[in-house]
Structure formats: structure tokens, C-alpha cells
Amino acid sequence: MKTLQERLKFARKEAFLTQAQLSVRSGLSQSTIAQIESGRNSGTRYADLLAKALGVSLDWLLSGEGPISTNPLFSPPRRRAM
């Protein structure tokens, strides 16, 4: 994943959240989240709110560097095979 928008969408889907649900958790509007995921908004200004709401590392969300979470007990949920 090369961009913040790709990492945001990945983390949101791994957490089984809709954009509307992430909106409630982060305090951002659903349209802002949609704009970030589509690349119409860079999202860097809101990255800290989104990282906290998703339980991921701010560094990972912004750059893709380092662990996805700073919490050693964090394990993102895995999708079930269908």
C-alpha cells in the first residue's frame, strides 16, 4: 500500500467498519472520509484522529513505515474465508 488513502481503506475494512461507523468513531464527517479514501482530500490533517479511531500507528497510516500498531497486543481482525 503506497498511499494514505489505501492504508486508511485497508485499516477500515480490516476493522469491519463502514465509512459512517468510522465517522462516528473519529468525529469526522463520512464525506471527509470518502474524500480521503478517493484521493480528493490528502487527509494528513486528520490522520491523528483516524489513527486513534482505527487503533493503528500514526506513522504507519501516514507513511506505511513501521508496525501497523504500536500496541504489541494489537492484532487486526482477519476476514473469514467464504
Query: In whole angstroms, what is the distance from residue 48 CA to residue 56 CA?
Result: 10
**DSSP character string of 36-65:** HHHTSS--GGGHHHHHHHHT--HHHHHHS-
39 vs 75 pLDDT, higher one:
39
Counting residues of the chain whose pLDDT is more than 90, the rounded percentage is 71
C-alpha–C-alpha distance, residues 39 and 50, integer Å: 15
pLDDT at residue 82 in the model: 46
- pLDDT tens column, 40-69: 998 889 999 999 999 999 999 999 998 887
Handedness of CA 54, 79, 3, 9 (dihedral sign): negative
Residue 33: Cβ-neighbour burial (10 angstroms; 0-12, 13-18, 19+): buried
